[in-house]
Amino acid sequence: MRRNLTVRKIHRYLSIFIAIQLLLWTISGIYFAYNKIEMVRGEQYRLPLETEYRIFKRLGQEIIEKNENGLKTYLTYPDNLPVNNLLPSEAINIAKEKTSLNPTEVSLIEKAERGAEFRGRRLPIYKVSTDTKDGINIYIDPITGDVAAIRSDSWRAWDLLWALHIMDYQDRDNINNILLKIFSILALVSSISGVILFFRKTI
């Protein structure tokens, strides 16, 4: 009888400690769900960009990037000739040059599905497959030659769990979605009621 009472007490007090932590997680989750990260970062205070330039190399060729209020154009330097998209073979060369991976195939993606693993990157984009066990793909910008993203099976598992965590099953990035807001409020009510019931029984 005493043993059962001890086990119940341990379970009861352990439950309240866990409930308090869940309450803190829920409150912080509600804050994230109802506040856009762009606003928190102060992006709304940025003034429109002035014209900016940068020079970079793509397979040995210097290129000028002109950024005018977010609109980017590219010319070769110093000839000021239009910059053509990379050829598939050149995308392979860049993958070899900028990563330690062994590229095998390349394809040009011009349209993306919602929640694509390269989401947020400019299209079109080259997808370069590799011979790794982890199913690694390299995504290369055909204009700049930048490695825009590297995605593996490990990343895909993480991305799936992130989507389940924030309850955004399509885009997988929106932590301000209505489903998360509703369930976070329900979780808050559940956590608070659990704490109240604990102290009522204790008193």
Task: Provide the pLDDT for residue 30.
Answer: 82
Q: CA-to-CA distance for 124 and 152, rounded, in angstroms?
A: 20
Residue 74: name the closest of 90, 59, 54, 94 by CA. 54
Task: Provide the pLDDT for residue 176.
Answer: 83
**pTM higher than 0.85, yes or no?**
no
Task: Provide the pLDDT for residue 148.
Answer: 95
Residue 109's contacts (CB-CB under 8 Å, 6 or more residues apart) are 118, 123, 124, 125, 126, 127
Task: Provide the pLDDT for residue 87.
Answer: 96
φ and ψ at residue 141, rounded to 5 degrees: -70, 125
Q: What is the DSSP letter of 116?
A: -
- Tens-level pLDDT at each residue, the chain (203 residues): 566 667 667 767 777 777 777 788 888 888 888 888 778 788 778 777 788 999 999 998 999 999 988 889 999 998 899 999 999 999 999 999 999 999 999 999 999 888 999 999 999 999 999 999 899 999 999 999 999 999 999 999 999 988 888 888 888 888 888 888 888 888 888 778 777 777 776 55
Residue 93: name the closest of 124, 122, 59, 60 by CA. 59
Residue 180: name the closest of 194, 192, 163, 195 by CA. 163
Amino acid (one-letter) located at 30? I
DSSP line for 160-177:
HHHHHHHT-SSSS--TT-
Rounded to a whole number of angstroms, the CA Rg of the chain reads 26
Contact 103, 126 (CB under 8 A): no
Residue 97's contacts (CB-CB under 8 Å, 6 or more residues apart) are 59
Strand runs labelled E in 47-191: 52-58, 61-68, 71-76, 103-109, 125-130, 137-140, 147-151
